[in-house]
Amino acid sequence: MGGDGGGGGGGSVASFCMYSGYIVSAPPRAASRGIPNFVGAFTRAVGKRAELVEILCLPPIRFTTVDGMPTTVVSFTTDVPVFGKTWGEPLLLGPGSIHVAHTSEERISKRELSDAVEMYANVVKKLLAKN
């Protein structure tokens, strides 16, 4: 609790509060497949007592696969959907851990770097062979 900016003394209750964060949820069209829509649930739960403002919506994306390369589904975001198919079929791969990617803890060993060079060369060869 704190002052509301209106000159209230200690112990006063703020007239408003603000939360800034991010929420990952299923896109609205997923509701037709039985996946709950967060925005609808939020609105029903809080009514007019709160407002949800969408700043950025990045839809889920299915990446191209490369024979012999492992795949996985992750709950992290990427800006790849923004580019659409501008640069062709999207791939998302690289050395290191997604858990520290783009943070102050991001790093890879020399071995991972060397393995990555080999991995990228193999991916290029496989993609060229497909065409």
Per-residue tokens: 23 = 């929420």
Q: Which of 57, 85, 100 is the last residue of a domain?
A: 57
Residues 52 and 64 placed together within one structural domain of the fold:
no
Residue by residue, pLDDT tens for the chain (131 residues) are 444 455 555 667 777 777 776 666 656 555 555 555 677 788 888 888 887 777 777 777 888 889 988 888 887 778 888 887 788 888 888 999 988 988 999 999 999 999 999 999 999 999 999 87
pLDDT of residue 126: 92
44 in the same domain as 95: no
Evaluate the CA torsion angle 81, 87, 91, 92 in order and state its sign: negative
- Residues 50 and 40: their CA atoms lie apart, in Å, by 13
- Residue 2: its pLDDT value, please? 44
Looking at 21, 39, 57, which one is the last position of a domain? Answer: 57
pLDDT of residue 32: 55
What is the pLDDT, as a whole number, of residue 30? 57
At CA 112, angle to CA 97 and CA 98, rounded to 5? 10
Q: Do 79 and 35 fall within a single domain?
A: no
**Domain shared by 47 and 76, yes or no:** no
User: In this structure, are 68 and 106 located in the same domain?
Assistant: yes
71 shares a domain with 121: yes
Number of domains composing the chain? 2
- Across 2-120, where does the E strand assignment appear? none
Range of the domain at 89: 60-130
pLDDT at 4: 46
Query: Is the overall model pTM greater than 0.75, yes or no?
Result: no
